[in-house]
A and B are shown apart, each in its own frame.
Chain A
Amino acid sequence: MKELTDIALDTASQHGASYADIRIIHTENEAVNAKNEKPSQIDRSDDLGFGVRVIANGAWGFASSNEVSKSEVEKIAALAVEIAKASATTATESVWLAPEEPHQDIWQTPVQIDPFKVGIEKKLDLLLKINAELMQVKQIKIANSQMDFTREQQFFANTEGSFIEQTLMFSEIGYSATAVGNEDMQRRSFPSSFGGQGMTKGYELIEELPLLENTRRIAEEAAMLLTAKQCPQKTTDLILEGSQLALQIHESIGHPTELDRILGTEANYAGTSFATIDKLGKLQYGSPMVNIVADSTVPHGLATVGYDDEGVAAQKWHIIKDGILVGYLTSRETVHAINGNRSHGAMRADGWRHIPLIRMTNMSLMPGDWTLEELLADTKDGIYMETNKSWSIDQQRVNFQFATEIAWEIKHGKKIQPLKNPSYQGITVEFWNSCDAICHENYFVLWGISNCGKGQPGQTAQMSHGAAPARFRKVKVGVANV
């Protein structure tokens, strides 16, 4: 690989690049899915390619190819420089990169059980068992379960002398039960929705999760929702379960604090951000108990790496401290906008094909000191919502709306009945300032999100958000009742 990376960097320099980097990535994936009593997809894939990123005449260019050969590497590196020179025709100032010392290193996700060495029969057997358990409840018409494993081996090199080899391992599992009846359809998922729970772990993730232990509950809750009362429309106290709170963090804190968004780079697609630089250090983003920590080093997070995709070492830092906005997700190019002199290492690309963008790393709401029982008992009149069903937020990340699979009405400190089709809407800063209780670390789970979209062309990234259930006062619920 070193020979190929040297060719790319030398070619780029010879054609006029002042900076170049290359990522060569080999990705193996195995997906095992089952629907009801049979497999619905069993698939293995093997992918290899590279991407070259350059600065020439003070502007960026990038080209990629799946053809990993000396001649193609030369051609693509030259093309990247040609593209950069075209970019430069509209440049008003040159790209400047914050320094990062060169790294020569090998880093890998710690794994106990290599999932690629676990037989497909064993994986499928577990999924079919889960489905069979779910379908014991007669209203369940569709049981879906899936596992996904990815090993990504990346070689990164740049013209500053870095050469880094990283091997990342991702494992994910989830299931859902769809109940049909009463002219309705309702779904419950475990451990969370949209693929389930993912971590940078091996097959030990599958063995650790209480999958079969929860099938009966999940199936019965789906069936129960068919005849449950509709979530009412009102303003009330809202307790969010951890996986839903993880998505709340993602949409209303993670995305708005991507510095490239704040600087306008996503304006044509995902939008900009209300959390502008003038608010750094000043904005009371949340109540004083809200502390959000970004951490690319936390064990087993989906964004846990040794180095980001521009060779910056993984770090941990505050985004919100005691409720105040104190930090952003930055890159080597953007950090100077906040007078920073080192990137926090938040640049990641969706494979070799795409350029790195600022992506959320693992971002977590630090736990508080309540038990869930205490929190429920302390809530006179409220709603407890679990497991995301849909999400939407405006392009500056202010007005959001979420729906969950299930909610529970709380009266006088007790969950008294399930509610179907729950939804809630809020304004980001008002919402986070209404947070008045967070459960303690025994309830803290690092929830994986594996389908975060950004960029043009579009890319997908994965990250984790740690959260324990938390309460928010006076939130509008039932907003989608139309």
Chain B
Amino acid sequence: MFDKNEQGPPSLLKGAGGISYLTESSAKQIINKVLNISTADETEIFVGSESSALTRFAENHIHQNVAENSFGIRVRAIIDKQMGEAHISKCDDDSLKKVVTDAIEIARVTPPDPELLPLPGSQIYQPVEAYHEESISPMQRAKYIAKAITLCKNAGLTAAGIFSNGSSSSAMGNSNGLFAYHRSSVVNFSITVMGDDSSGWAQKHSRKSADIETEKLTGIAIQKAELNNNPKTMEPGKYTVILEPDAVAGLIGYLAFGFNALAVDEGRSYLVGKVGKKIAGESISLRSDVYHPLHQGRPYDGEGIPTQCVELIKNGIAAGLVYDRLTALKHNVEPTGHGEGGHNSYGAFPDCPVMDGGGATLEEMIALTERGVLVTHFHYQNLVDPMQVIVTGMTRDGTFWIENGKIQYGLKNLRFNQKILEMLNNVEMMSEPVLASGMVVPAMKVNQFNFSSGTEF
């Protein structure tokens, strides 16, 4: 229900530490108000709120500690295929009138877009469980961190990291009867542990704090930092690598843009001429799956279309693309619910990636490696060549030399330049997939991974 307030959003459900979310009924109320104000032929409204708290620590103490709340409304107004868009961060009556007026004013001076489709009508969405009701106070976050710091201090090491929790909620509606609502929560713990010449890292995020074992994660990071001390230099070259899941996640994400059907049409995807053909090893299957239990992402896209699960790579074959409404229409297929909305100049983006894995454990992969490198995760990756999907980056926080099935010593960090599809043709073993850095991916043992240079630490 609305609270009468000078300029602020409607009444929000609050927990300790100020975490809140926009209720479905409040979102509907705002959307209906905007629809009543708007005189456009068609009107589309997005409303969203985000509330988060993050306690950050470094040098074994909390040095930054924040709680942030935000709220926003976006209105798209369409008049005779002319579209205008405006945003505002308040929902009092004057602000709603202003955002509608701005959107209509912009629409009136924008040339008509003959390809602009009518807004979709009411849709049916698959339910997801993305929100867990929980309040974590600043003092509780500080206690989690204090325990982690104590473990590090006892080991003679220095800790840095974050403990955060938050929620977001969003809704969209339009003048053709569409209404969609989604809310989600997240708890995240990440720790980097440093010695004089070494470091280790661990991270986990989930919907609820009960899933985050901060002391266990700290123990993993401590172990890596201790194993990694006095790191040795390794010459650049091609090596067998074992990539932990966060390292795999740091690479696989660079494939996503290529599965955009509009990008393929426009020639800016590496999949031009390759859909239906082999692009990776037979063990590789990748899909966009918002409904996976470890994802439970938003079940609709920026156009309000229900999101489908789409096979992107099936047994090494480029199996499917994602389509926004306009590109789908041109191809006489159904949109897949990955569109951005509006003029859709980018096209569609396959989020919530899930890669099938295998049955090997990380320990088994190490034991079966004669000579190789174990990588915890990567740093500052970037796409160097989009058409060959060449990615560069550095190893970080736990890179180890394996020989005769055992970790022998730590290595100084290395830069790689790697064609990702070539890498996926050289996968020897995989573990079960887990949630890592926002993706569901396995650990992988890969042959012929290209390290191109090294650094001083």
Contact = CB atoms under 8 A, between A and B. Distances in A.
Say if A and B assemble together. yes
Interface of A: 33, 35, 38-49, 51, 59-72, 79-80, 82-87, 89-92, 119-121, 124, 141-142, 178, 180-181, 183-185, 263-268, 271, 274, 353-355, 389-396, 398-399, 401, 403, 421, 423, 425, 427, 456-457, 476, 479-480, 482
A68 B113 CA distance: 38
12 contacts: A41-B342, A42-B84, A46-B86, A60-B63, A63-B18, A67-B71, A83-B67, A87-B142, A264-B158, A398-B456, A425-B415, A480-B385
Interface residues of B, number: 99
Counting chain A CB atoms within 10 Å of each CB, the highest count among B9, B89, B161 belongs to B89
Contacts of A120: 106, 109-110
Which 3 pairs across A and B sit closest by C-beta, in order of nearness? A67-B8, A180-B267, A40-B345
Nearest to A272: B194
Contact of B62 (A69, A90, A401): A90
Contacts of B220: none
B110 A46 contact: no
Interface in B208-247: none
Contacts of B453: 399, 401, 425, 476, 479
B185 interface: no
A62 B137 CA distance: 14
A51 to B, nearest CB: 8
A11 to B, nearest CB: 15
B97 interface: no
Contacts of B149: 90
A277 to B, nearest CB: 14
Contacts of B198: none
Nearest to A266: B58
Contact of B146 (A71, A90, A142, A390): A90
B384 A354 contact: no
B384 A84 contact: no
A274 B384 CA distance: 25
Contacts of A457: 52, 54, 66, 68, 164
Nearest to B6: A69
Contacts of A85: 138-139
A49 B51 CA distance: 14
Interface stretch (B279-287, B311-319, B362-370, B391-399): B391-399
A395 B345 contact: no
Interface of B: 5-9, 17-18, 52-72, 83-90, 95, 98-99, 102-103, 106, 109-111, 113, 137-139, 141-143, 145-146, 149, 158, 160-162, 164, 190-192, 194, 201, 266-268, 272-273, 342-343, 345, 379-387, 390, 392-394, 396, 413, 415, 417-419, 450, 452-457
Contacts, number: 285
Contact of A180 (B138, B162, B268, B417): B268
A67 B9 CA distance: 7
Contacts of B146: 89-90
A69 B8 contact: yes
B160 A268 contact: yes
A230 to B, nearest CB: 10
A43 B85 contact: yes
Contact of B417 (A70, A181, A482): A482
Given A44-B106, A66-B90, A86-B62, A393 B380 contact: yes
A480 B139 contact: no
B380 A482 contact: no
A135 to B, nearest CB: 13
Given A44-B106, A268-B191, A482-B419, A86 B382 contact: no
Contacts of B141: 86
Nearest to A120: B109
Most buried by B among A68, A391, A456: A456
A41 B343 contact: yes
B394 A86 contact: no
B142 A38 contact: no
B192 to A, nearest CB: 4
A407 B90 CA distance: 48
Nearest to B99: A46
Contacts of B191: 268
Contacts of A403: 384-385
B55 A66 contact: no
A401 B384 CA distance: 10
B87 A141 contact: no
A47 B90 CA distance: 8
Contact of A86 (B69, B87, B139): B139
A44 B18 CA distance: 29
Given A41-B345, A353-B68, A83 B138 contact: yes
Contacts of B90: 48, 66
Nearest to A80: B67
Contacts of A68: 6-8
Given A92-B60, A482-B417, A64 B87 contact: no
Nearest to A429: B456
A66 B190 CA distance: 28
B66 A271 contact: no
B78 to A, nearest CB: 12
Given A44-B106, A457-B68, A264 B58 contact: yes
Nearest to B57: A90
